[in-house]
Amino acid sequence: MPVNAFKWKHFAGEIILLNVRWYLKYALSYKNLEEIMAERGIQVDHSTIMRWVHQYSPEIEKRIRRHLRPTNNSWRVDETYIKVKGKWKYFYRAVDSDGNTIDFMLSSKRNRKAAKRFFKKALNSSHNQIPLVITVDKNPAYIPAVNELKNDRILPQNVNLRQIKYLNNIIEQDYRSIKRIVNPMLGFQSFRSANKTLKGIEAMNMIKKRQVNNLNYSVLNEAKYINQLFGLVL
């Protein structure tokens, strides 16, 4: 995305980011946002707002990465279901023992390759530590995936893999903040749009969980921070 992320847009960057941020934070439809903007004298079609969400959600997630606080070395990993074009896909997620988001990945498969790809993604994120322990559910794909990562010397041999369901309560509780936004959407129309939107939802969730360095969280500070990420000043 160019330095001027809003070049050739018919609306001010502040208006675009406001709509994107609200859609990713609250259980609002694109139609809801169209009506809310109309009440404020701003005429914007819901399909335009949808395009904004798809364009700027992954960019928000990308830009906050460099500002995230380090997570700890106790990982809790699980996956949940996301409906895409009428079919269930798998949303891998990991948090640390304090509930901070480590990483996430949408996948069409739930197998060893997908699990391994997710772990590699999480390990490549600069705000994450190499885990000392990884707690997972009973999905049998995790064991061979972790063993392969150890054999590839991507994970140390002393990393402890635990399959203890009750220890993953923290990530199951964390799902609620994501599902609260996703469920009213009644499914995504494509894998690509789902992936883009979920990145934005997770990014806003990380901000709300106070994972951003030097950000004294409040709604106003959040809005200011998002605008500053794109070179805008409120």
Its pTM stands at 0.93
- Choose between 167 and 28: higher pLDDT: 28
Model pLDDT for residues 32-82, shown as the tens digit of each residue: 999 999 999 999 999 999 999 999 999 999 999 999 999 999 999 999 999
φ, ψ of residue 173 in degrees (nearest 5): -70, -35
DSSP 169-209: HHHHHHHHHHHHHHGGGT-BS-HHHHHHHHHHHHHHHHHHT
- Determine which helix (DSSP H) or strand (DSSP E) holds 98, and give its type and residue range: none
Where residue 173 falls among pLDDT bands split at 50, 70, 90? Answer: confident
Which domain, by its residues, includes 207?
Answer: 13-67+189-229
What does the mean pLDDT of the chain come to? 93
- 114 and 207 inside one domain: no
Query: Is 57 part of any domain?
Result: yes
Residue 2 lies in a domain: no
Q: Are 67 and 177 in contact (CB under 8 A)?
A: no
